[in-house]
């Protein structure tokens, strides 16, 4: 199993819990954040290898988070995870590596994560 650390950023607790469980069962290590601002704090403590990012969140949304992340010099790949039809467009707006559109199944998620994560 790869030793990959994933940060999940989503304001819906049930989504966070479900995605965490999906990744953990596949052997990933997982951190969670409830919005963009929270994620910026969390990644200072545990630098992730990959970020799973919801776009529409209170306080600091996906766009704001991505901008701030790049400004701070992090090159961590991002997988956009959103319910919107515009998932692909939004992903390209923030130069994300991959995207998964809700509702996604476990296979979709793992495939996107595998493709996006840096080679070890």
Binding site for another protein (CB under 8 A): 11-12, 14-15, 17-19, 21-22, 25, 56-58, 83-85, 101-106, 109
In the bound state with another protein, the residue whose beta carbon lies nearer, of 44 and 107, is: 107
Question: Which residue reads 């790049």 in tokens?
Answer: 70
In the bound state with another protein, the residue whose beta carbon lies nearer, of 72 and 89, is: 89
Minimum gap (Å) between residue 85 Cβ and another protein? 7
Measured distance CA(28)–CA(19) in Å, rounded: 11
Q: Helices (H) and strands (E) in the chain — how many of each?
A: 5, 5
In the bound state with another protein, the residue whose beta carbon lies nearer, of 105 and 118, is: 105
- In degrees and rounded to multiples of 5, residue 101 shows phi and psi of -100, 130
């Amino acid at each position: 199993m790869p030793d990959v650390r994933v940060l999940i950023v989503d304001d819906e607790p049930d989504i966070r819990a479900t995605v965490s469980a999906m990744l953990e069962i596949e052997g990933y290590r997982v951190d969670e954040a409830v919005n963009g601002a929270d994620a910026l704090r969390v990644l200072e403590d545990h630098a992730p290898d990959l970020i799973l990012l919801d776009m529409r969140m209170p306080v600091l949304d996906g766009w704001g988070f991505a901008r701030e992340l790049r400004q701070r010099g992090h090159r961590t790949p991002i997988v956009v995870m959103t319910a919107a039809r515009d998932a692909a467009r939004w992903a390209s707006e923030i130069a994300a590596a991959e995207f998964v559109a809700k509702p996604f199944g476990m296979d979709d998620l793992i495939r996107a994560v595998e493709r996006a994560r840096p080679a070890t």
